């Protein structure tokens, strides 16, 4: 199978290339394809004729999306639609990466994760643009997988964000004695390598539709920070604070935990806990010894 990966050098794309290394991979980056230009998309996909396209490209700077609405929708919605259109033209299957931020504006029952059958109500421009992208994919491509995930971290780091939350916390620990981290935003941290491996399991099927894929369990950013410093033995005080004490341009969901319900219906096992995934990440990055895993 010929697999074309858009955004191949990014955090998610790097791990997808790793798990598909036994297949014929076509790794494309921004210099190779401009997803906001359908002619660029058509030229690239027609030239390579992949059987499967995985689109990881997105504008992910959540706060910047508030002031750069046109760019957010151009990349996350129009770009997704362009890829979907050409995939239909060449009869390729499409896997499109989305986000838990399509949720958050609802009034959910406390502590009940969102399934694929819940209606998304985004809180911010990033979430709205990603939801619009999902809708474009589902309307324009007949063989698609929309994959929502949450709190992604990977060894390559997110190029659009300049790293990831784990490395940011560890870097801050080197220069500060105390940190304030929000404790009223609950999500499911997800290791990009675990996500990539389970995306491959899913894409080996023809169970098309929307899928949530996250590591098991949930926590707040404060609890995630405590786990990072706890596993690495970092001595620092971390204070829990509410979101209103840490103002940002874009509102974040207070609760965006995803239940991998459709994945279970497809017969694919639950992913390991986010704690186990975090330990694995910290070991691979050299932050802890093998004995700590």
User: Annotated catalytic sites, by residue?
Assistant: 126
Please give, one letter per residue, the 3-state secondary structure of the chain: CEEEEECCCCHHHHHHHHHCCCCEEEEECCCCCCCCCHHHHHHHHHHHCCCEEEECCCCCCHHHHHHCHHHHHHHHHHHHHHHHHHHHHCCCEEEEEEEHHHCECCCCCCCCCECCCCCCCECCHHHHHHHHHHHHHHHHCCCEEEEEECCEECCCCECCCCECHHHHHHHHHHHCCEEEEECCCEECCEEHHHHHHHHHHHHCCCCCEEEECCCECCEEHHHHHHHHHHHHCCCCEEEEECHHHCCCCCCCCCECCECCHHHHHCCCCCCCEHHHHHHHHHHHCCCCCHHHC
Q: Return d(Cα 99, Cα 60) in angstroms, integer.
A: 10
Exposure string for 21-57, b = 16+ CB within 10 A, e = fewer: eeeebbbbeeeebbbbebeebeebbeebebebbbbbb
């Amino acid at each position: 199978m010929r697999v074309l990966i858009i955004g191949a050098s990014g955090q998610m794309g790097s791990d997808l290339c790793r798990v598909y290394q036994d297949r014929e991979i076509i790794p494309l980056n921004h210099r190779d394809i401009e997803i906001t230009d359908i002619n660029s998309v058509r030229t690239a996909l027609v030239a390579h004729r992949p059987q499967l396209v995985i689109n990881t490209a997105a504008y992910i700077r959540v706060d910047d999306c508030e002031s750069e609405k046109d760019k957010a929708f151009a990349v996350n919605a129009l770009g997704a639609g362009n890829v979907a259109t050409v995939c239909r033209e060449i009869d390729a299957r499409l896997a499109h990466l989305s986000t838990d931020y399509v949720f958050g504006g609802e009034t959910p029952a406390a502590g009940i994760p969102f399934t694929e059958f819940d209606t998304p109500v985004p809180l911010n421009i990033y979430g709205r643009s990603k939801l619009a992208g999902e809708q474009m994919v589902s309307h324009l491509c007949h063989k698609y997988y929309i994959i929502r995930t949450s709190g992604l971290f990977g060894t390559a780091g997110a190029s659009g964000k300049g790293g990831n939350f784990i490395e940011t916390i560890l870097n801050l620990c080197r220069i500060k004695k105390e940190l304030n981290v929000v404790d009223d935003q609950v999500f499911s941290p997800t290791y990009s390598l675990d996500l990539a491996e389970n995306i491959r399991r899913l894409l080996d099927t023809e169970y098309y539709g929307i899928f949530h894929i996250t590591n098991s369990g949930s926590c707040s950013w404060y609890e995630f920070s405590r786990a990072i410093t706890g596993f690495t033995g970092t001595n620092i005080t971390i204070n829990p604070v509410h979101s209103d004490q840490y103002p940002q341009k874009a509102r974040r969901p207070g609760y965006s935990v995803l239940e991998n319900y459709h994945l279970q219906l497809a017969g694919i096992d639950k992913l390991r806990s986010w704690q186990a995934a975090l330990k694995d990440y910290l070991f691979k990055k050299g932050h802890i010894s093998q004995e700590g895993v």
